[in-house]
Structure 1
Amino acid sequence: MRMKAVILLGGPQKGTRFRPLSLDVPKPLFPIAGFPMVHHHIEACAKLEEIEEILLVGFYQPSDALNRFIRRQRQIIGKPISYLQEYTMLGTAGCLYHFRDVITSGDPDAFFVLYSDVFCEFPLREILDFRAKFMQFIMMTVEVPREQSKYYGCAGIDHKTNEVVHYIDKPETFVSRDINAGVYFFTMEIFSDIGALFQKRHRPSFAEPIARQINLLDIEDSKETVFDNYSPLQQTLGRIFFEKDVFPILATRGKLFAYKCDRFWMSIKSAGSALYANRAILETYKKTHPDRLTDHPGCIGTVSIHRTAEVDATAVLGPYVTIGAGVVVGPGVRVKNSIVLEGATLKDHCCILNSIIGWHSVVGEWARVEGTPTELDPNAPHATTDNFYLFDEDGRLRPSITILGRDVIIPPEVVIRNSIVMPNKDLSRGFKNQILL
């Protein structure tokens, strides 16, 4: 079977809960366990020999950072990797339909779709082995506690046939503990089903003519785009989502099947979940990439240190710590359950607990940066949504991890606890339970 993989990156309008970290890099490029988030998806796809090409689809501008990332991935993976930019947010299904000519070029038999903000062991081979010939569309599902299910798309599954007989996105009442895990297998017939939805909405000539007009449009001669000629309602009609539009229909037609995954899975929606994902990925390195874990004498448990980082021999790191490129860790420093991003400096005897230290930030001598660790119920490994909201129902900041944005300076001998510090802040004193704008 000849296949492709499509990884959906989203766009800058999404991932607001990931700020201030997403102010500097697109969320999919935020480094977790030493690599950009979407690197783990690409790496999983590359292991499957049937996948001949990997396509990244998103609404992000093709920045230097994104272009450099793609070039590096091509060299590392050795397979074609391309970025397809949406001209407007088209929805999870609409963007695939818009780029269907690219996806179907070369006559592949099928393709995988992965959401960039989910992490698991990506059992792509297992899904192929599970698939029967009559299964054209497969959704990976995981089981979550009853109270968690309302945050996801819920699937009613016939457990004898694995057919999804009912699907509803984020229901108000309990439907099922089996939820959409953001990994799909599709044959090319999926484009017929999505196309039928466009026709049903009476959006004439949506994909090809508009795409052709945009390509031919001379931007210098006109400040308007083609979509400026449509009302907001008309623009909304062009957005098609698997979760809200496609899957409910497929479930009524007997076309959608479920692969139930019983291994670790999580949704990375916020910085708090990114720190927990860092912990989970470091644990997977024990069996998948032991070479990515360090044997520094001061390390406890799973720790990853970039080869260009400078770590004093008296520093104690771990467990669950990632040290980025060019980081300087001074004498007597203690770091636990944290991510320290590229270029940061941790000065003598400072203490970093349950925190993310931003790019080129400086933590002074004997300072303490501490957050409240995010913990999951060990009996519910897929419960990842309501644990990571920053605010409670009354609008108060929950105790959470501490995040320092880019170029933040923490003075010596102060304590920063359960706070979020926006980029370029030079603090003069300690703070607790604050968002510092």
Structure 2
Amino acid sequence: MKALILVGGFGTRLRPLTLSFPKPLVDFANKPMILHQIEALKAVGVTEVVLAINYQPEVMLNFLKEFESKIGIKITCSRETEPLGTAGPLALARDKLIDGSGEPFFVLNSDVISEFPLKEMIEFHKSHGGEASIMVTKVDEPSKYGVVVLDEQTGKVDKFVEKPRIFVGNKINAGIYLLNPAVLDRIQLRPTSIEKEVFPNIAAENKLYAMVLPGFWMDIGQPRDYITGLRLYLDSLRKTSSPMLASGPEIVGNVLVDETAQIGEGCLIGPDVAIGPGCVIESGVRLSRCTVMRGSRIKQHACISSSIVGWHSTVGQWARIANMTILGEDVHVSDEIYSNGAVVLPHKEIKSNILHPEIVM
């Protein structure tokens, strides 16, 4: 079985982190976000993953090659020379996706995180006999999205309504698909939207079905949603009693701590925190709703909340980092500095307070 992950795009919404790495390689819960997807695909029998990519393919492939043997899955690349939307990349990768078996293949958006119930999706797809299955998720404010209108009993998709002004349903496309090879015959090699062109055509022929996603779902392509996604992901680990979650007198709520990280005395960490490999958290530090990425040091009595600390950064003693502050790679915040919502580009030093959200270039 094969899968295609849509990796195109420059990750502008997740800058400054994507100035150092392509978005799918940005750490989420202590590993590159794309690895969450690849591991879930491997678990249901996918043997080859094709990355549809138009930005930094060498960086992506060089990084993922070391995981090929670890995970036991083939990772190849289909490179766009021009942006092809969300459907064009399928036409470009056609020869890589069709193997003569007639088996369906998965398509995933690279910045989606969920519990990835792919086994259930395969069973759902087989049961309805249609041409394509899409995963949908419930939202509280459907007027902000494109809504999928479907038969609640069978899952058959009736139509799509973009940002409806009156209530037509509360289910939106979750960016996880299982498609028969016949779908490829519908897609031309040109910039095309799978959501706005391909799926409505399949639905018009009564061959498109939607499965409601159990558990959580989040598009983590921008910082605020990334932080929310981390909370939902850690909460799902708690529900399954995952041994990955940290415990101890300094831990509050759901926290991930890499085994190579060091934590000093008198800290209070959590809820909803991920501390990456090689990090050093000195004594008396307070962390909540944040990610501290690989190789960073948080000095004594610093306080970080609702923020992301990029790779190999330093936060000084008694510093306070808050309100969706995003530190890029190798950023150094001096002692006793306050940052309120700053976005700091890589390799910068912050020596004065940032009282209002701003970009530090």
Q: Which residue of 2 aligns with 1:116?
A: 110
Higher Cα radius of gyration: 1
State the one-letter code of the partner of 1:38: I
The unaligned stretches of length 5 or more in structure 2 are none
Distance 1:335 1:104 in 2: 48
Match of 1:86 among 61, 66, 80: 80
SS across alignment from 1:290: coil
The C-alpha deviation readout for 1:271-325, integer Å capped at 9, x for no partner, is: 1111111222222233558332233542222222222222213322112111112
1:239 aligns with 2:162: no
Distance 1:63 1:172 in 2: 44
**Aligned length in residues:** 359
1:42 aligns with 2:38: yes
Distance 1:59 1:169 in 2: 27
* Contact 1:300/1:319 (<8 A) preserved: yes
SS across alignment from 1:154: strand
* Contact 1:117/1:267 (<8 A) preserved: yes
SS across alignment from 2:259: coil
- Name the CA shift for 1:99/1:171 in 2 (closer, same or farther; >3 Å): farther
- Name the CA shift for 1:308/1:41 in 2 (closer, same or farther; >3 Å): same
Q: CA deviation at 1:171?
A: 5.1
* Contact 2:117/2:214 (<8 A) preserved: no
Distance 1:341 1:153 in 2: 34
Alignment of 1:98-113 (within 5 A): 98-105=92-99, 107-113=101-107
Q: CA deviation at 1:16?
A: 1.8
* Contact 1:409/1:426 (<8 A) preserved: yes
* Contact 1:350/1:366 (<8 A) preserved: yes
State the one-letter code of the partner of 1:153: G
Q: Which residue of 1 aligns with 2:18?
A: 22
- Name the CA shift for 1:11/1:364 in 2 (closer, same or farther; >3 Å): same
Q: Which residue of 2 aligns with 1:428?
A: 351
Q: CA deviation at 1:100?
A: 0.3
State the one-letter code of the partner of 2:64: I
- Name the CA shift for 1:241/1:170 in 2 (closer, same or farther; >3 Å): farther
Q: Which residue of 1 aligns with 2:182?
A: 189
Q: Which residue of 1 aligns with 2:282?
A: 330
Alignment of 1:32-431 (within 5 A): 32-49=28-45, 51-64=46-59, 66-105=60-99, 107-131=101-125, 132=127, 134-145=129-140, 148-170=141-163, 175-194=168-187, 198=188, 207=189, 238-286=190-238, 290-371=242-323, 401-431=324-354
SS across alignment from 2:186: helix
The C-alpha deviation readout for 1:308-361, integer Å capped at 9, x for no partner, is: 222213322112111112212111111111101122111111111111112222
The unaligned stretches of length 5 or more in structure 1 are 199-206, 208-237, 372-400
* Contact 1:319/1:337 (<8 A) preserved: yes
Distance 1:306 1:112 in 2: 31
Distance 1:7 1:425 in 2: 33
Q: CA deviation at 1:181?
A: 1.1
* Contact 1:141/1:261 (<8 A) preserved: yes
Q: Which residue of 2 aligns with 1:6?
A: 4
Q: CA deviation at 1:108?
A: 4.6
* Contact 1:355/1:369 (<8 A) preserved: yes
* Contact 1:169/1:244 (<8 A) preserved: no
Q: CA deviation at 1:68?
A: 4.0
The C-alpha deviation readout for 1:50-84, integer Å capped at 9, x for no partner, is: x23222222122234x2343123212321222222
- Name the CA shift for 1:248/1:70 in 2 (closer, same or farther; >3 Å): same
State the one-letter code of the partner of 2:334: P
Identity level (%): 37
Distance 1:136 1:402 in 2: 44
Distance 2:63 2:240 in 1: 22
Distance 2:247 2:167 in 1: 47
- Name the CA shift for 1:241/1:172 in 2 (closer, same or farther; >3 Å): farther
Q: CA deviation at 1:96?
A: 0.5
Q: CA deviation at 1:175?
A: 4.1
Distance 2:158 2:239 in 1: 37
Distance 1:287 1:75 in 2: 30
SS across alignment from 2:67: helix
Bigger shift: residues 418-427 or 316-325: 418-427
Q: What do you get for the CA RMSD once the two structures are aligned?
A: 2.0
The C-alpha deviation readout for 1:165-209, integer Å capped at 9, x for no partner, is: 112444566543221111111111001122xxx3xxxxxxxx5xx
